[in-house]
Chains A and B, each alone.
Chain A
């Protein structure tokens, strides 16, 4: 079986989308002749030309804003923000227009826009290079928010996001760009809004997305040695949120740990815990635990390991609720 990295899988997804639909455009800072600073757009300009794959001026509000105009002109823009921490100038356009245009125009206008953002920590990056912006977007009604965890699923999710008629914020876990997975790239499989169980276990459910999924799988391995069997649920998309899968897992295991690298307060963990209270309260055997980043700005490289949820912190949380 072929082995692909997440960066290669995303590159293939963009290539296949460009080949499938001539209305698809790919643009952003350094995505053309450089192929993107993470090489996700490598070779695309050569293959599809400078009209459909192009560099833009370094102006994130402009990048997000032209997506709206291009969508009105019948194009399907797939824009890249270079880094999570540099995407914030685009928030105005994303919140005020990308998210709201369809409702404002009473559904007469579609916004089939994908904005890709290399996100989350774990790269020993400098300040502004390890942000977790998902809550800003998930809390903005009108957007879909996707965060893949593995190469093959990154391919599937990016293709589904580009095909989706609604705007999608696509958060790529940059610490996993070089992670590999064996298998064929395919659009077959679960679509947007469907979580997937990556590991079965009856004692506790770990719920995560993006880079923290592999961290949870590692923690589950460790716990298995102690005879604590964990289910790992990969959310894949935060909007739509797979409420049924979350509830089913909570009912099946009675114990849930939510893991993300975003700060704890008002993070996705809070939303998931509240959802479990609404859907599966009677089946809970312990309070829902959150293992998250702390409520501080992202850590400098040498403190990153203390900030991010570790196998040890996840394991400790599971053990706490296993004894509850």
Chain B
């Protein structure tokens, strides 16, 4: 399968794929999910895309600040997050709203970040085992490895998964995280969503070797997977998670996918890539191919796909209502959380800001 203009030189690399872009099965379709689970993957992708598009609209209406859309990457995020257990811990970067939905994070809570009413941890990270949004590139991969080291010390059968992009793989923290994970045998999954572009820089100008090939250098397994094939992503992540939880250590997964939209709502991709390239990737749409597969295999019917779409409309309407009525944080919250035991000096500033005065 061609991976498109952005990584033509990597076409001959082996890539795990189960469902072809036309919906026909090309690999082992039994990934251990029953029909209900298989249908749930489609429902989640349909819901997530509808939410992503609504977020773009909300941003254009001025209801959200800058928003980074994930359209095109639904299979990469949902296939991977769906493979994890409730004991596992996810460390996102900043484009993983679809994964957050799978983890049960309330989208309205999550969108407080994009509404600008709080920073990247507006939900409870410990309850949903979904770390705060991490904007500086690749930092969260190290956190995921630290968490995995801690889980291993506790003797827990749990793993962490860090999401990062192809651009983040150039950061030093990617290297340090991969090396620590390997040295300590940490139960961590380093999950790269290679979407072809780091804002305007194509993969070929980002790195001279395939990202998955780096795994060899750390002494850990590397898996390249069709990131638009939700079953392949699920199977690869499930295998890595089982491996991690069994004590066999970390895995690097490179999910080859594509960002259909701009980097963020502030970006203009027409300045750096062609419509033709986008059109090629639209043909590999992760949702349509999977829908075709489920219909052809008799796992879902048209009524189910229609119910997904109707359900998504209703769900997103509720989210819109919730987001647009999010309250501004109380002024005192500026001071409330920086320290568990705030310095007296900060308490004085808090009183000054509150207009109470400082005796």
Interface residues of A (CB under 8 A from B): 25, 51-52, 56-57, 59, 61-62, 65-75, 89, 92-93, 96-97, 100-110, 141-142, 144, 164-166, 193, 239-241, 243-244
Task: Please report which residues of chain B, range 317-343, place their CB below 8 angstroms from some CB of chain A when the two chains form the complex.
Answer: 333, 336-341, 343
A107-B150 in contact given A61-B142, A65-B176 (Cβ < 8 Å)? no
Contact indicator B120/A104 (Cβ below 8 Å): yes
Q: How far is the CA of A105 from the CA of B128 in the complex (A)?
A: 13
Are B176 and A108 in contact, CB atoms less than 8 angstroms apart?
Answer: no
- 28 A–B contacts from the bound complex (CB under 8 Å): A57-B183, A61-B176, A62-B177, A65-B146, A66-B142, A66-B143, A68-B143, A69-B160, A72-B126, A72-B131, A73-B149, A73-B150, A73-B151, A73-B154, A74-B150, A75-B150, A89-B172, A92-B139, A92-B173, A93-B173, A102-B338, A102-B339, A103-B119, A104-B119, A105-B125, A106-B122, A108-B121, A165-B340
How far is it, in angstroms, between the C-alpha of A107 and the C-alpha of B124 when the chains are bound?
10
* Cα separation A51 to B184 with both chains bound (whole Å): 10
A165 vs B153: C-alpha distance in the bound complex, in angstroms? 21
A193 close to B343 (CB less than 8 A): yes
Inter-chain CB contacts under 8 Å: number: 148
B-side contacts of A65, CB under 8 Å: 139, 142-143, 145-146, 173, 176-177
Are B153 and A51 interface neighbours, CB within 8 A?
A: yes
A57 contacts B150, CB within 8 Å?
no
Complex Cα gap A215–B89 (Å) = 50
CB distance from B145 to the nearest CB of A (A): 6
**Given known contacts A57-B176, A92-B139, A243 and B345 CB-to-CB distance under 8 angstroms:** yes
A243–B347 Cα distance when bound, in Å, is 12
- Closest B residue to A167 by beta carbon equals B339
Residues of B whose CB lies within 8 Å of any CB of A are 89, 91, 118-122, 124-126, 131-132, 134, 136, 139, 142-151, 153-154, 160, 172-173, 176-177, 179-180, 183, 333, 336-341, 343-345, 348
Question: Please, how many angstroms separate the alpha-carbon atoms of A144 and B143 in the complex?
Answer: 21
Least distance between A26 CB and chain B CB atoms (Å): 13
Q: Are A69 and B122 in contact (CB under 8 A)?
A: no
* Given contact pairs A66-B146, A164-B340, A244-B344, a sample of 18 additional A-B residue pairs in the complex whose CB atoms are under 8 Å apart: A25-B153, A56-B180, A57-B180, A69-B160, A73-B149, A92-B139, A96-B139, A97-B139, A100-B119, A101-B121, A102-B339, A103-B338, A108-B125, A109-B126, A144-B343, A240-B343, A243-B344, A243-B348
Residues in A with CB closer than 8 Å to B151 are 73
Contact status A70-B150, CB under 8 Å: yes
Cα–Cα, bound, A239→B143 (Å): 25
CA gap between A165 and B342 in the complex, in Å: 10
Q: Report Cα–Cα, A101/B28, bound state, in Å.
A: 42
- On whether A61 and B340 interact (CB within 8 A), knowing A73-B147, A243-B345, the answer reads no
Residue of A59, A62, A243 with most chain B CB atoms under a 10 A cut-off: A62
Q: In the A-B complex, list the 9 residue pairs whose CB atoms are closest, starting with the nearest.
A: A69-B146, A65-B142, A73-B150, A66-B146, A240-B343, A62-B176, A105-B121, A165-B340, A69-B147
Cβ of A143 to closest chain B Cβ, rounded Å: 9
Measured between beta carbons, the chain A residues less than 8 angstroms from B119 are 100, 103-104
Question: Within 8 Å CB of B120, what residues of A?
Answer: 104
Cβ A109 vs Cβ B121 within 8 A: yes
B347 CB to closest chain A CB, in angstroms?
10
Please report whether the interface of chain B is mostly helix, strand, loop or mixed according to DSSP.
Answer: helix
Separation of A100 and B145 alpha carbons in the complex (Å): 19
Name the B residues within 8 Å of A61 (CB-CB): 142, 172-173, 176
Alpha-carbon gap, A65 to B162, bound state (A): 13
**Does the CB pair B89–A72 fall under 8 Å?**
yes
**How far is it, in angstroms, between the C-alpha of A109 and the C-alpha of B340 when the chains are bound?**
10
* Smallest Cβ-Cβ distance to A54: which chain B residue: B184
Bound form: Cα–Cα A223–B120 in Å: 55
Chain A: which residue is nearest B129 at the CB level? Answer: A72
Taken together as a complex, chains A and B put the C-alpha atoms of A165 and B338 apart, in Å, by: 12
Residues in chain B near residue A101, CB distance under 8 A: 121, 132
| A141–chain B nearest beta-carbon distance, Å | 6
CB atoms of B337 and A106 under 8 A apart: yes
Residues of A within 8 A of B341 (CB): 164-166
Q: Which residue of B lies closest to A56 (CB)?
A: B180
In the complex, what's the smallest C-beta–C-beta distance from B115 to chain A, in angstroms?
14
A68 to B177, CA, bound (A): 13
Residues in B with CB closer than 8 Å to A109 are 121, 125-126, 132
Q: Which residue of chain B has its CB nearest to the CB of A66?
A: B146
Complex Cα gap A96–B142 (Å): 13
Closest Cβ–Cβ distance, residue B88 to chain A (whole Å): 12
Q: For A105, what are the chain B residues with a Cβ–Cβ distance below 8 Å?
A: 121, 125, 132, 337
B146 contacts which of A73, A102, A241 (Cβ < 8 Å)? A73
A248: min CB distance to chain B, Å: 14
For B126, what are the chain A residues with a Cβ–Cβ distance below 8 Å? 72, 108-109
How far is B147's CA from A103's CA once the two chains are assembled, in angstroms?
A: 19
